[in-house]
Amino acid sequence: MKTMRELLNWGEKFALENGKEDSAVKLLLMDATQKESYEILADMNMVVPQEQVEKFEHDVHLYVEDNIPVQHIMGYETFFGHKFIVNDDVLIPRFETEELVANVLSTYDDVFNGSKVKVVDVGTGSGAIGVTLAVEEPNMEVTVTELSEAALEVAKQNANQLGANVTFYQGDMLQPLIERGLKFDILVSNPPYIPLTEEVDPFVKDNEPHLALFGGEDGLKFYRQILRDAHKVVNEKNIIAFEHAYNHKEAMAQLIKEHFPHSKFETLKDLNGKDRMTIIINN
């Protein structure tokens, strides 16, 4: 018979002794017991059923010893308050991307004033951006593209479980849209942006799809591709929003000036004060 306190103390100690973040342990305890954080903290002496104890201990060993991300063990990540299915076919959504979504919603209010718009999320992965926009703003008619069929299947599952009305196209970046002659008011993308030569944490490199991580020699391959072709898929009045590496602010500015020389654009900082999002506005 083990209590919440005993399990949490054991898990956190085991994680720290093996060089792992102990904050992940509580997430695994919440998942195993199907309790919220406040419920665990409110009654740390609660006795945990043996079946849940065994699941928790098994999952902690997967995290600490087998180097498996907590999100893959639980099968989901919370993004913008919604649970998104994740596995090793998709990138695990990060908090910076939540900020991108928030900024797109805010810019949409400023530019389109709540009117109906067509939105495309390019290279959607798990669907985190496109599906969230469809859920959060009913006046957004959302389409997503994704090269990986496996990732697209995950995105479809997330749209279904969250009741989001999203159109899906399998293909390389903007190509499926160009082929169909489709036009959009808002284009948003968080493409792969790690340079091929950059050292990547093995925990990330070993567990997340390389297709979603690496963006060519300098990390800008897909931004070039999207900006080169964006004129073919956006309406005259539009918003184009990107997440990018914190050290790509100047490179992004040069690309935008090359392909959208008369457009207004702004680079925004994330909560850590790093330049992580650039938004182009044509109105």
Annotated binding site for substrate: 190-193
- Provide CB contacts within 8 A for 215, sequence distance 6+: 191, 192, 193, 194, 195, 221, 222, 223
Q: Which residue has the tokens 């957004």?
A: 140
* 111, 236 contact by CB (below 8 A): no
Q: Count the Cβ atoms, other than its own, within 10 Å of residue 186.
A: 23
Known binding residues for S-adenosyl-L-methionine: 123-127, 146, 190
* CA dihedral (202, 208, 211, 213) positive or negative: negative
Known binding residues: 123-127, 146, 190-193
Which tokens sit at 9?
């103390």
Which tokens sit at 124?
């959607």
Edge to edge, the sheet with strand 117-122 lists 166-170, 140-146, 117-122, 184-189, 234-243, 275-282, 264-269
Which tokens sit at 146?
């994704």
Amino acid residing at 216? G
Q: What is the DSSP string of 73-140?
A: HHTEEEETTEEEE--TTSPPP-HHHHHHHHHHHHHHHHHHTT--EEEEEES-TTSHHHHHHHHH-TTE
